Amino acid sequence: MTLDTVPASLGLIAEETPLIDVRAPVEFTQGSLPGAVNLPLMVDDERHQVGIAYKQLGQQAAIGLGERLVCGETKQARVNAWQAYVARQPEAIIYCFRGGLRSQIAQQWLDEAGISRPRIDGGWKALRQRLCKRIEDAASQPMLVVAGLTGCAKTTLINQLSNGIDLEAFANHKGSAFGRQPDEPATQINFEHALAKCLIGLTGKLVVEDESRQIGDANIPLTFWHALQRAPRIRIEMPLDWRLEQLRRDYIEALEQRYASRYGQQEGWQRMQRQLANALERLAKRLGNARWQRLQRLQAMAFRAHAIGDVYAHEAWLAPLLTEYYDPLYRYHLEKQRDSRPVELHVGDWESCLDAAKQWST
């Protein structure tokens, strides 16, 4: 029987082709292809047993064990899951790690059930290589970096641009000690795949926010990171009151809504408080004990005021956190890079920087 394959093309990702990942859940969790759903041939324990058999007894013994583990009702349940997904997504394509035995078995079982779907030639590994290559290639494209103090709405500016690259969205983390979101941060692999997917359609100039190399649990790929460090930049300068309003909306009000949506109002509120309190505690050594304790008291007072409807009370601890910690730290790094700092094409308020980015882009 000849089982059809399709090339490991970036077009599959750009066109958001439905994908069936038949690898084990532990593999899928570590990193999947964009748009994929995990409908495994073997669950984690089954894969573990087969892997041991392969190492100790060879391929044929491993295949035989796999056939004994996934048979009867178990096999039928796996086939039913694939059938149900293909019924909803008739263009779905199958893949495993290398496009080998597992995806071929899934194809064969589906074919026996009257459904013919191709697999990706080379599987997850081949398409991941192409995604990583897209990031490498992007390092040679013209880039503009959007810089500025904390609270200058750099991410908002990035998202106003068709060629903007929102690295924080791909990492599912806002990049600072307070940047964690209700959902888990992206794995390194999923961060890279999301970045590469965005880059597929962007072959010209790119606009990226000024970031540390690590965002949440993910690191910006080194070649791309070096390109960011060399790129010209624009710098947003906004007054403290304006920045505090942005922080309150993004790090307090929007965060509360995301937690409530995920966990419900009461539990979400408790989780948000713990997150912000823990984030402040992680800065204790850098802040110094006296300053940290003062900010901790102000934060606790703000939580009590927030609970009865006064969300503005958070500015009492956010303002000194900016003026006494984040702003001096940013200016220190600017001064440290004075001799090697990339050229600044424009310095101004948010609107003028947006205009400058649009003008540079065109």
Residues 6+ apart with CB under 8 A from 126: 8, 98, 99, 120
Closest CA to 360 of 167, 144, 153: 144
CA distance 361 to 162: 9
Q: What is the DSSP letter of 76?
A: H
- Residues 6 or more apart whose CB falls under 8 angstroms from that of 265 comprise none
Residue 98 structure tokens? 């290398």
- Is residue 96 annotated as a catalytic residue, yes or no? yes
On whether the CB atoms of residues 151 and 247 are closer than 8 A, the answer is yes
**Which tokens hold the place of 165?**
């690259």
Please state, in angstroms and rounded to a whole number, the distance separating the CA atoms of residues 77 and 328. 59
Helix (H) / strand (E) containing 275? helix 265-282
Across the chain, where does the E strand assignment appear? 5-6, 19-21, 36-38, 93-95, 119-120, 143-148, 164-165, 206-209, 214-215, 218-219, 233-236, 344-348
Residue 18 neighbours by CB under 8 Å, 6+ apart: 35, 37, 85, 89, 91, 92, 93
| Pair of tokens at residue 177 | 């000690």
d(CA 26, CA 8): 22
Residue 32's CB is within 10 A of a number of other CB atoms, namely 21
Q: Which of 270, 245, 247 is nearest to 259 (CA)?
A: 270
How far is the CA of 287 from the CAs of 185, 261, 324, 325, in angstroms?
25, 33, 9, 7
- Amino acid at position 243, single letter: R
**Residue of 96, 152, 198, 353 marked catalytic:** 96
| Percentage helix, strand, coil for the chain under 3-state DSSP, each rounded to 5 | 60, 10, 30
Catalytic positions, written as ranges: 96
